[in-house]
Amino acid sequence: MERYGAAILIGIAVGFADRWMMLRSDYRHYPTYPHGQMTHLALGFIAASLGAVAVPAIAKPDYVAVTFLVLAAQQFRDVRNMERESLNRLEETKLIRRGSDYIEGIARVFEARNYLVIFAALISSAAAFWLGWQYGLLFGAVAIILSLCLMSGSYVGDIAEIFAGEVHFQDSLLMVNDIVIMNVGLPATRQKILEEGMAVIIRPKDDDARLTLDAPGQRMAIVHDVVSILGSKVDINETELMPMARKHPDKGYLGFFLVANEPDLDYLMEIIRKVPVLESARGTALKSYFGRKAAD
């Protein structure tokens, strides 16, 4: 009986530690509030418990207990719906929105992290049950490291080159290098943009990257992450200072424009490099059969 208890306790401890280490609260991720963190830690504890009891239940044998894993899968799908609904409600009050692609990506991540917790708890519990508690802790540490590696994705800096652009006007058209951003009618606003505006060129490294940056959801994610840190001087119903990322129609690269509360061009470029590449926007044309033929 002591063998069963040790395996379950180690599995729960490793799984809960795994979820705690995967919890992030920064400008890119949700939750950023204590109550949201407690919710996900509680769900992580439940997921760790389910993974920890699976191997001892099979060894007993008690196959009914294993069926709780099936019920857990349904509950963690509801986690995705909960995150999606919460973020969609928050979108209604934001001047600069994340966009539905960004929200869906965040919701998927929180569902997947609970499955990683089950995996870590299952591996550590099995090792503790069959090999001893020392091996349970060792395998648990490996599972946590693997979980942290799996949760990390690619960033805009991996698929594109980012460098400074030039803000200027052609008549009333706001330009970033040779990319038209928008029409600005008021002379005072044009003068403010020339004095305080910052611009960046985002050049994709290949055709897959070009398709990714072409997606409106990916562009909204870039704008949102930048504004989350540097701020923006745009106000309600004042669109002439709205930060934007526009595409050159022929060459495919992006021009990004912003009038920030904290103007720092080097930091702006670094933030854009750290924007995550959204799964729903990821271009994979070159990996398809016709894409490979076109590249050849």
Give the model confidence (pLDDT) of 226-246 as tens digits: 998 888 888 777 778 889 999
Model confidence pLDDT, tens digit, residues 215-224: 888 999 999 9
3-state SS of the chain is: CHHHHHHHHHHHHHHHHHHHHHCCCCCCCCCCCHHHHHHHHHHHHHHHHHHHHHHHHHHCCCHHHHCHHHHHHHHHHHHHHHHHHHHHHHHCCCCCCCCHHHHHHHHHHHHHHHHHHHHHHHHHHHHHHHHCHHHHHHHHHHHHHHHHHHHCCCEHHHHEEEEECCEEEECCEEEECCEEEEECCCHHHHHHHHHHCEEEEEEECCHHHHHHHHCHHHHHHHHHHHHHHHCCCCECCECCCCCEEEECCCCCCEEEEECCCCCCHHHHHHHHHCCECCHHHCCCHHHCHHHHHHHC
Provide the pLDDT for residue 63. 67
The whole domain housing 273 covers 157-285
pLDDT at 285 over 70: no
Same domain, 168 and 272: yes
Residues present in the chain in total: 296
178 with 229, same domain?
yes
CA neighbours within 13 Å on the CB side: how many for 91? 17
Residues 196 and 243 in one domain: yes
Contact 215, 101 (CB under 8 A): yes
Residue 225 is assigned to a structural domain of this protein: yes
Higher pLDDT residue, 295 or 146?
A: 146
pLDDT of 114 reads 86
- Among residues 100, 134, 152, the one where a domain terminates is 152
Higher pLDDT, 38 or 271: 271
Residues 174 and 265 in one domain: yes
> Are 105 and 173 in a shared domain?
no
What per-residue confidence (pLDDT) applies to 68?
Answer: 67
Residues 6+ apart with CB under 8 A from 155: 273, 274, 275, 276, 277
Strands 173-176 and 167-170: what pairing?
antiparallel
Residues 18 and 79 in one domain: yes
Total of domains in the chain: 2
Where is the domain boundary, 152, 169, 186?
A: 152
**Are 97 and 31 in a shared domain?**
yes
Could you tell me if residue 291 is inside a domain? no
Grade residue 271 by pLDDT with cuts at 50, 70 and 90. very high
Instruction: Name the token pair of 287.
Output: 């990996």
- What tens digit of pLDDT does each residue of 79-138 get? 788 778 888 887 877 888 888 888 888 888 888 888 899 899 999 999 998 888 888 999
Phi, psi of 152, rounded to the nearest 5 degrees: -90, 135
